[in-house]
Amino acid sequence: MNQQEGYADDIVKGFVIWSMVWGLVAVLVGVFISFQIAFPQLNFPPYLTYGRLRPIHTNAGIFGWGIGSFMAFFIYITQRLTRTSLWSPGLAKVQLWLFNVVIALAAVTLAMGMNRSKEYAELEWPVASLVVVLWVIFAVNIIMTIVKRREEQMYISLWYILATLVGVAVLYLVNNASIPVSLTKSYSAYAGANDANVQWWYGHNAVAMVLTTPPLAIFYYFLPKATGVPIYSHRMGVIAFWSLIFMYLWTGAHHLLWTPVPDWVQTLAMAFSVMLIAPSWAAVFNGYFSMNGQWHQMRENYLVKFLIFGITFYGMQTLQGPSQAVRTFSAFIHYTDWVPGHVHMGTLGWVSLVLFAAIYYTIPRIYHTEIYSVGLANVHFWLVLTGQLIFSITMWIAGVQQAAMLNATNPDGSLHYSFIETMVELYPYWHMRALGGVIYLAGLLVFLYNIYQTIAGAKTQAVAQRA
């Protein structure tokens, strides 16, 4: 199936290219702020400080790279799984323009210090309102395409896509409810512990609906495409889907253990977090079992390497996450560098590896060409894998050491180490983290060069054919 058969693949091209642009911005800023922590003299107030740049890094990564790619692949996948053209290609073009306007506005306003001080929901109300318009346009287009589908069977990817569209809408509207006091300032509609509870109900479910369900939709679609064999069990996938959706929504308060939030809310979140291991690992096993008799493709097929390592990082992430939700372990590692190690295993390992595979698969097909260099794709894989492992493992070790020092006490009960003494011990780990970021960035540049040459080669071929 291609553009000639009526699919809106030009829109897919636009979203893929712009998501890669914003992904590069996210990693560049991320590497820079990792150096700012290791070398504080690299902070240049007021605009180039860690406090201003960190939310730009997370917004560009999650919303620019992540959401941009998901929009591309939701449009690509939905058309093919429903055997139906996109309901409104014109609306999708408006969506692409608005998407880039929103991400650019987010970067500018955050650099200027306009910030709601809510993690992953920092945007002030004018930009947040545009996000709502953007999401409504996107959701209507995808849902109407599914409604008008010519394929009766709803493949598992479509369930994950629908959950994302509905879940993000509910989360964003509830947590961004605010009272504007000027064009550039607003205050949350909630107060005190309620505000914190709503924020982390949103924050953790943003992980579910942005960093879990979309990459699972993409994984379930592209693994069979890459290997040439069907997914092991569609029924197992659907059962895992409904279990995951039911359990995830109760887990947000595990970010608020040992706080004034009611004890029963914390316990409920802890219990559902541990139960989440089952549906999460059902997806992991579904991926592994789909490889029965096909494991040789890990050597022969570069796409499979990205996808299987991606789902493996998802499995590790979904063991580590519930363990962090247990009170005793949370008391030890919360507020340490263990947490960024955990988060980046998910974003750099799970989400990005799956997206890299999807882009490698999709770009040659919608440009009607071959990938420029499989060798470069393999170099890209090993660089980003090495960079991500250095980053995460370094932060896990740093977090454990930091926690042990912060909890060490003298016989009289006083703290054995001051905060400054614990911080000084972390500098070698921060240097290693910056090194891991540089290696990951090098891998990303190899990827972008490979994709650029693939597209440029396709255009040259098209010109030659017309001549």
Residue of 194, 153, 204, 29 lying closest to 103 (CA atoms)? 29
Q: Quick one: pLDDT at residue 2?
A: 46
Residue of 160, 165, 130, 171 lying closest to 144 (CA atoms)? 165
Alpha carbons 269 and 254: distance in angstroms, whole number: 5
Enter the pTM of the model: 0.96
Q: From the first residue on, what is the mean pLDDT of each consecutive set of 10 residues in the chain (467 residues)?
A: 72 98 98 97 96 97 97 98 97 97 97 94 97 97 97 95 97 96 95 94 93 97 97 95 93 94 95 96 97 96 98 96 95 95 96 98 96 98 98 97 96 96 96 98 98 94 81
How far is residue 337 from each of residues 59, 169, 300, 421, 425, measured CA to CA in Å? Answer: 20, 31, 37, 15, 12
Q: Quick one: pLDDT at residue 326?
A: 95
pLDDT digits (tens, 9 = 90+) for 237-247: 999 999 999 99
Residue of 106, 95, 98, 111 lying closest to 46 (CA atoms)? 111
Beta bridge partners of 188: 178
How far is residue 317 from each of residues 4, 192, 329, 339, 387, measured CA to CA in Å? Answer: 41, 30, 16, 11, 17
In which region does residue 120 sit, left (phi positive, over 0), alpha (psi from -120 to 50) or beta (all else)? left
Please state, as a whole number, how many other Cβ atoms lie within 10 Å of the Cβ of residue 177: 13
Beta bridge partners of 178: 188
Q: Is residue 241 a contact partner of residue 159, using CB atoms and an 8 Å limit?
A: yes
- Which alpha helices (H) appear in 228-276, and where do they start and end? 234-248, 263-275
Q: Quick one: pLDDT at residue 194?
A: 94
Q: How far is CA 31 from the centre of its chain?
A: 17
Instruction: Annotate 22-57 with b (16+ C-beta within 10 A) or e (fewer).
Output: bbbbbbebbbbbbbbbbeeeeeeeeeebeebbbbbb
Residue of 124, 199, 212 lying closest to 167 (CA atoms)? 212
Q: Is residue 316 a contact partner of residue 284, using CB atoms and an 8 Å limit?
A: no
pLDDT digits (tens, 9 = 90+) for 379-426: 999 999 999 999 999 999 999 999 999 999 999 999 999 999 999 999
Residue of 240, 228, 212 lying closest to 313 (CA atoms)? 212
Beta carbons within 8 Å of 150's beta carbon, 6+ residues apart: 82, 83, 84
Alpha carbons 282 and 40: distance in angstroms, whole number: 44
Alpha carbons 190 and 196: distance in angstroms, whole number: 9
Q: Is residue 171 a contact partner of residue 209, using CB atoms and an 8 Å limit?
A: yes
Question: DSSP string covering 41-75, please?
Answer: GG-BTTTBSHHHHHHHHHHIIIIIIIIHHHHHHHH
Give Dmax over CA atoms of the chain in angstroms: 86
